Amino acid sequence: MKKITTIAATFLLFAGVTMNAQTALKKGSVTYKMEMTGNDEASAMMGESTMAVHFDEKMQATDMNMMGGMMLMKTITPVGNLKDSKMTIEVMGMKYEIIEIGEEALKESKGIGNLENALEVSYDKKDTKEIAGFKCYKAIVKMNDGTTNDFYITEGIAVQDSKDAKVKLAGYPLQMKSTTQQGEMTMTATSFSKDLPKDCFSVGEGFTKVTMEEFQKQMGGM
């Protein structure tokens, strides 16, 4: 279980990339298909996995569905207030709300979300494709460790902008590819909706509040 939660957290952090577009939709939901290659064990654990990102000008939430629905993970983050983020995990019929997410986790989330590990971004507007009904072009982000992440972005969608971001994308990524310790991750948008699901920015009922350490212990350290 620890491995699959690590993979899930990596996708969540990867999805937190900061966007900066001028004229674009500022409210909606994007659904992504998530894939991992180069790691057969991780790919098998993930199974059919999707992530939905919901946003308006004040809030952003992610709903991740992994292992064919056996594991659900949700995050809720107020714009510009990472410390008030909330996380819930539903696995094997048990429901947990993770409290005291931890400074290190917040630091990692902020770092990846704001591309603080990036050196620079370049664009190839001749390399285009249509994704989820939006025209996208390629963005290549060079990281401090020498690796590169490939994005296909659209300027038709915007989410919250972070003023302190060192490197920003010119649009919203509808496809993201990155090589991590868990393998090569790919997120590709399959649909977009202007409407937000009801209660997408709230925690449901019946969740037991635990720390991440307590959650991992209850899962037997798997």
Residues 175-204 have pLDDT tens digits of: 999 877 777 888 999 999 999 999 999 999
Question: What is the model's pLDDT at position 77?
Answer: 84
Residues 35-60 have pLDDT tens digits of: 887 766 766 666 678 999 998 888 88
Largest CA distance in the chain: 51
Q: Is the dihedral of CA 178, 144, 104, 163 positive or negative?
A: negative
Residue whose pair of structure tokens reads 């946003």 in the numeric block = 55
**Backbone dihedral region for residue 211 (phi beyond 0: left; psi -120 to 50: alpha; all else: beta):** beta
Question: What is the model's pLDDT at position 14?
Answer: 53
Question: What is the model's pLDDT at position 105?
Answer: 55
How many whole angstroms separate alpha carbon 79 and alpha carbon 160? 7
Lowest model confidence (mean pLDDT) among 21-35, 92-106, 156-170: 156-170
Residues 4-36 have pLDDT tens digits of: 555 565 555 555 554 443 346 889 999 999 888
61 has pLDDT over 70 = yes
Question: What is the model's pLDDT at position 3?
Answer: 56
How many whole angstroms separate alpha carbon 40 and alpha carbon 44? 6
Question: What is the model's pLDDT at position 18?
Answer: 44
How many whole angstroms separate alpha carbon 94 and alpha carbon 92? 6
Give the dihedral of Cα atoms 137, 55, 63, 43; nearest 10 deg: 10
**What is the separation of C-alpha 162 from the centre of its chain, rounded to a whole number of angstroms?**
16
Question: What is the model's pLDDT at position 129?
Answer: 97
Label residues 87-125 b or e (16+ Cβ within 10 Å = b).
Answer: bbbbbeeeebbbeebeeebeebbbebbbbbbbeebeeee
Kindly report the pTM of this predicted structure: 0.81
Q: Using an 8 Å Cβ cutoff, are 184 and 191 in contact?
A: no
Question: What is the model's pLDDT at position 217?
Answer: 83
Q: Domain spans of the chain?
A: 2-218
**Residue 3 CB contacts under 8 Å (≥ 6 apart), including other chains:** 41, 42, 45, 222
128 has pLDDT over 70 = yes
Residue whose pair of structure tokens reads 């370049």 in the numeric block = 122
Mean pLDDT, the chain, integer? 79
Between 45 and 212, where is the model more confident?
212
Percent of the residues in the chain that have a pLDDT greater than 70, as a whole number: 73
106 has pLDDT over 60 = no
What CATH code is assigned to 2-218?
A: 2.50.20
- Burial group, residue 23, by CB count within 10 angstroms (0-12, 13-18, 19+): exposed
Which pLDDT band holds residue 160 (cuts at 50, 70, 90)?
Answer: low
How many whole angstroms separate alpha carbon 27 and alpha carbon 131? 18
Question: What is the model's pLDDT at position 21?
Answer: 39
